[in-house]
Chains A and B, each alone.
Chain A
Amino acid sequence: MRAVLRWLRRHLVVLAGLATLAYLLLPNLVVLVFSFNKPNGRFNYEWQRFSTDAWSDPCGVADLCGSLGLSLQIAVWSTVGATVLGTMIAFALARYRFRARPAVNTLIFLPMAMPEVVMAASLATLFLNMGIRFGFWTILIAHVMFCLSFVVTAVKARVMSMDPRLEQAAQDLYASPAQTFLRVTLPIAAPGIAAGALLSFALSFDDFIITNFNAGSTVTFPMFVWGSAQRGTPVQINVIGTAMFLIAVLCVLGAQLLSGRRKRS
């Protein structure tokens, strides 16, 4: 008994950490299990019996796959927009001294320190009063706006930690400024840019609050899920949630294995 207690005390931190991890992953497990459910009513909250119906027909619900496609499209374009604009700002902030720097830094920080509902309502007020029709473009504008700051933060950190002597060395070796940028600066900044782009994609794809205010009658995937929480949740939602989870985890694990093997060889 005493040995057990001592073991528990020594591993208290590890056990608490694993418990938190379980808390984080439990809903994903529930989503997975309930993707094999065959509910009786319109809602998929209670376990009835095992079935693979939803997996064999993931698009079997009206508008579901359409909304998924729209969300992917918006996520891709807002990632491109935010990454290009954000990388340019990050380079300006990391490389140049200029008078407006503190103001720019504040403008970049504020969207991250603002509750989403405030940004959502104010942007929607603007669109409403300008008489702009809500839809694909208003969603895209909003997504680029809130992803921008995250890209700037990710890229700036990377460029700041870069050794400026590498670029000087390139110029000493008669590289033109364009060559230096393409062959030296960009490859070194690439991991920061990639991190910012990935973050933008995830943020945009999963955004609900800002989209809800600025979408009008356009339905993205999160809006579809929100609507179905009111009308009835099809099992297919769980199928798509689980599939996205598995694909992403496999991609990350694959990338890890690849980079591990490259490091060893």
Chain B
Amino acid sequence: MTTSTEAPPPAAPGDAPEDAPRARGRAARKRLVPYWLLLPGILWLVVFFAAPLVYQASTSVQTGSLEEGFKVTWHFATYWDALGEYWPQFLRSVGYAATATVLCLVLGYPLAYLIAFKAGRWRNLVMILVIAPFFTSFLIRTLAWKTILADGGPVVGVLNSLHVLDVTSWLGLTEGQRLLATPLAVVCGLTYNFLPFMVLPLYTSLERIDPRLHEAAGDLYARPVTTFRRVTFPLSMPGVVAGTLLTFIPAAGDYINAELLGSTDQKMIGNVIQSQFLRVLDYPTAAALSFILMAAILAMVTIYIRKSGTEDLV
């Protein structure tokens, strides 16, 4: 008989003797709960995301034809041939995507800043206006740029009378007196399409900054520019990193803007993969090209995340 003042926990009748093994069974079952929760979704990702990537790697070293079928022959020459033939498109993709990312940052930062600190009671409305374009299919909106940048349109007219197009065509960004079917048009389209992906993470990290930090910087005689350079911008780095990644990665693989707003001289690597896969039906080359693209982007992203010191981003 227990003499302690604390009553023993009320045990269910008949529960006492075989309590230990059953509890152990329950604990084991509990340990399995997360795995049951994970199983269907992870299975989906393994079968339809990870396995295809491995499968694609094997396709890239196969040879054969559509009629005879393809066999793994460890034909690594596909990689060299693909790189040798399509390196301009690779370089172009990286160049266009990097330019668009920088433009997105330059254009998106003021907008994110406006929403975070200046919009006041208009904040929700401006936020809705940033997201609103998403509700119209991006292909329709990209086609609208065809109208905006059209040869006889007002934009070309104004830029022409200001002699801006002379300067840009001297720089090799445009050709003659037109904007459509030039690198500038493709970069403009890429910037437009991925701008919200820059603004939203920037806004999220700017919004977390305590406005009193700005006041403190001002009290310490920092000029507004200095406050921005030393306080605001460093604190918004997580947003800058997330935004640049969310812009650069999809832009580097994009082929819609180059197809709709560019000409054959602006083809990006996405266009090549698309036509190799869907039109030429040369699957090994398409697989090799997308494998190189994936490896290049993963390498660049890893280095970038290391350099910017925000590894906890993931």
Residue ranges of A at the interface with B (Cβ–Cβ < 8 Å): 13-14, 16-21, 23-28, 30-31, 34, 45-46, 85-86, 88-89, 91-92, 95-96, 98, 100, 104-111, 113-119, 121-126, 128-129, 141-142, 144-145, 148-149, 152, 202, 206, 208-209, 212-213, 221-222, 225-226, 229, 233, 237-238, 241-242, 244-245, 247-249, 252-253, 256
Contact = CB atoms under 8 A, between A and B. Distances in A.
A30 B133 CA distance: 12
A142 B49 CA distance: 9
Contacts of B294: 114-115, 118
The 3 closest A-B pairs by CB, nearest first: A115-B253, A17-B114, A16-B110
B233 interface: no
A14 B144 contact: no
B208 to A, nearest CB: 13
Q: Which of B42, B137, B142, B314 has the most CB of A within 10 A?
A: B137
A252 B138 CA distance: 19
A113 B147 contact: no
A116 B114 contact: no
B132 A248 contact: yes
Interface of A is mostly: helix
B298 A209 contact: no
B52 A125 contact: yes
Contacts of B130: 21, 24
A241 B140 CA distance: 7
State which size class the interface on B falls in. Answer: 35 or more
A121 B134 contact: no
B140 A225 contact: yes
A32 B120 CA distance: 29
B7 interface: no
Given A126-B51, A245-B136, A27 B148 contact: yes
Interface string B3-34: 00000000000000000000000000001011
B277 A121 contact: yes
B145 to A, nearest CB: 6
Contacts of B165: none
Contact of A206 (B52, B59, B134, B192): B134
A21 B100 CA distance: 17
A96 B297 CA distance: 32
Given A113-B245, A115-B252, A107 B42 contact: yes
B288 to A, nearest CB: 11
B33 A96 contact: yes
A92 B112 CA distance: 33
9 contacts: A17-B114, A25-B132, A28-B144, A34-B147, A96-B34, A107-B45, A148-B44, A209-B254, A222-B139
A225 B143 contact: yes
B41 A28 contact: no
